[in-house]
Structure 1
């Protein structure tokens, strides 16, 4: 483990975080209060996520912080701090204070970065002697939601086994928790973020983006204080949208899941390309000069080609998820490459990459992992490297898209299912399984169907991919109706 030079900087005790409206930390009696937990797993595919103030309360965050602190301390050979960051949601300050208090009651010191992208927490956790990292964000979810993501001391997502240990502590607690004899303190450390920014520039020192006009949609979220300087430093002319921290509007009709405003701005400013980040900036979607969406499949294809030509892609292997388009898979195979699919979720992509020693992987949604540069998904890093390879190719992004592959029509619909038990156990519904089997038999090898419960939102996702658009539309409609009829009823 490399200790960062910034680790030697002194703490400013005047900046210690305090529990809201209290002169001293909460006492042990708070831990004796009953804690309401869901009957099913607390952790989803990307940490803990839910409606802030309801499911995701300050009380829950306090307890989670305490038990996470106990687990992280048990793994540390030498006690170190926990790196804490947050996005711009209105509830993030409240959850940061509660989590911080729980972590310090467990005996840990907390370094609070404040507003920052998720990958900055992962990076700084990995290069310092921190015992772990925590990010408060619900990623692309609407403003009323929030979430808690944990990172290991290496800067990777906390393994599911350790998440289960945290949850076991929460569920087993019946009386007052046993607090650490030595309680930690929390400090504001936003200056550490410049080390993260330098890490983005370091592998691109020879790259000059001068003459490129790039639009950035920052989604009123976590990267609003960093993204413009990151691109401008490499010479690009940068135009920013939604570039202030706004907890009421984060992800609302903007960012990586709502690309209309980015398309309009790219056209209006005659830009070479545009990038839209999600609320915590760990994923990115691109738009070319013609307004076409360049999603994670295209990014993997272009980056894969570049790495393959440089002989930096072992086995010509890319790891993607079941959502990856068939057009991308077949085009990559025609180049002699290999594509391995996993379940949806960057943690599954990461697990497969580590298992197979793959260096490039990601999701169609724009969550890309390149182990050459980072062990976690990073929207700004991905965008910088895509802009760089476009410059080095001698073609425009639009020309690269024209030369790449034709996607199969792929329709994705979300059906809201509030009943958590019914949603997570949808595979037990015989009527829905019969509808899926009928659709699969009808399409044969000319299409694919994927029905799954979201790990981040209260929805069932229905994806139908087919060579013929009308076929895809028909079976999407049929399956959405089946989900509504058999799962979404009151």
Structure 2
């Protein structure tokens, strides 16, 4: 059986790869692992708006209750809200049913520990072993079977917390929100209006058939175009579970996670709030981010792709902020995982305090040309171990030298190799990517 856990939990096409039967097994294994030292474990459970959400939720609830765990059902809520409530309610763990930015046919299951942090590789490995071994896990009966409780004010609790962390009114600011038909559909507009901002909200219905479809943070052109309709506005685009965000300034410039991280890191440093003068990015973070931070004496540390790997590096280096180009930003004094709403609020607070438009920060980072492509392969892990693939990577690195970077890695959530090239000459790296794609397809056909 292939590995269940990817870079962000267990994901797959709902009812094909992620079946209710598998969801039940994963929930039983995860519930047991997280709650084995607790007499009566409690789990906070929430989801995004996907059509398969109810089906997977039913299986997960059954799994958790069947090992004696009580469930606090918070309904549709952003992933970071579930992380916050897990810690706030002193639960044993949190469970999110979401495939984040993935297509609507996918769904996923990810866990948080009692402090609202994603699990380490070792912890996920342990849950995976329990799932696959189908070991005899507890089967309580009678009153010892878990119960389910609905928490109707979960959204209010999360919203009030975020507003308390911002501590500033947003009067005079107009925002255009793209909620991607996802988990932020109601709570993001509510928070911004409660803080005094004028809000134009699009794709803000909980329609699972449309989640992430030509909208949200993976389609920034949508929020860019909408922001142009309202001069002087700030565009804010979330993904399906609102753990990432992309911004658009009033001139129509798109600011991805690297650009946002540059703004936040530099401003925190100016206020002596950037511990150890370190910011954590990933191997995919643009060279431009590294150069922008270095002007202020800030070091960029690179982790593996995945916000939980960013978090692990933040713990190792005692950093307070880290993130990914996709818009996952973690600011540990306030949140335990990527939080799109909080990140947008934190950025706008800087603008409000400085009395500057977002466009005034567009030159803080010069982005080097970077192109990426997903290449379908039969065995994304196996191909990376072949002699020909190792030879290809070495050859490409020799061609690029110190004028750019090449990253070839298995996708953590889909059956692709993700190839990313970065360099000064965009035309050159585009031609190089064509050659790489051809070589990878040849290697894939030869070995598998």
Normalising by structure 1, report the TM-score. Answer: 0.88
Report the Cα distance in structure 1 between the residues aligned to 2:365 and 2:184, rounded to whole angstroms: 31
| Structure 1 residue 290, shift from structure 2 partner | 2.0
What is the alpha-carbon distance in structure 2 between the residues aligned to residue 310 and residue 155 of structure 1?
27
Say if 1:272 and 1:396, in contact at 8 Å, map to a contact too.
no
Alignment of 1:317-328 (within 5 A): 317-328=278-289
Query: Aligned residue for 2:87?
Result: 126
State the Cα deviation string for residues 303-355 of structure 1 (Å, max 9, x = none). 11221122111111000001111111012112111111011011111001111
Query: Is 1:470 aligned to 2:427, yes or no?
Result: yes
Residue in 2 that maps onto 1:173: 134
Question: Mind listing any 5+ residue stretches in structure 2 that lack a counterpart?
Answer: none
Take 1:225 and 1:487, find their aligned partners in 2: how far apart are those partners? Answer: 45
Show the 5 A alignment for 1:31-430.
39-76=1-38, 79-173=40-134, 178-181=138-141, 182-205=144-167, 207-402=168-363, 404-417=364-377, 419=378, 422-430=379-387
Structure-2 separation of matches of 1:400 and 1:172: 53
**Superposed displacement of residue 416, structure 1:** 2.2
In 1, distance between residues paired with 2:37 and 2:433?
A: 47
Query: Is residue 423–residue 487 contact of structure 1 (8 Å, CA) maintained in 2?
Result: no
Q: What is the DSSP-based 3-state SS (H/G/I as helix, E as strand, rest coil) of the residue aligned with 2:390?
A: helix
Deviation for aligned residue 1:426: 2.4
Deviation at 1:280, TM superposition (A): 0.4
Are residues 309 and 488 of structure 1, via their aligned partners in 2, closer, same or farther at CA, if it must alter by over 3 Å?
farther
* 1:346-378 deviation per Cα after TM superposition (whole angstroms, max 9, x unaligned): 111100111111001010110000011111110
SS of 2:184's partner is: coil
Does the CA-based 8 Å contact 1:360-1:369 persist in structure 2?
Answer: yes
Is residue 411–residue 463 contact of structure 1 (8 Å, CA) maintained in 2? yes
What CA distance in whole angstroms lies between the structure 2 residues aligned with 1:453 and 1:190? 40
Deviation at 1:488, TM superposition (A): 6.6
CA–CA distance in structure 1, aligned partners of residues 394 and 28 of structure 2? 46
Q: Secondary structure at the match of 2:315?
A: helix
| Cα displacement string for residues 203-233 of structure 1 (whole angstroms, at most 9, x for unaligned residues) | 222x222121111100000111201011111
Q: Which runs of 5+ in 1 are unaligned?
A: 1-38
RMSD across aligned C-alpha pairs, in angstroms? 1.5
CA contact (8 A) 2:244 2:338 kept: yes
Q: CA separation in 2, counterparts of 1:270 and 1:485? A: 50
CA positional deviation for 1:160: 2.2
CA–CA separation in structure 2 for the residues paired with 1:312 and 1:457: 38
Count of equivalent residues: 445
The 1:444–1:177 alpha-carbon spacing in structure 2 relative to 1, beyond 3 Å, is closer
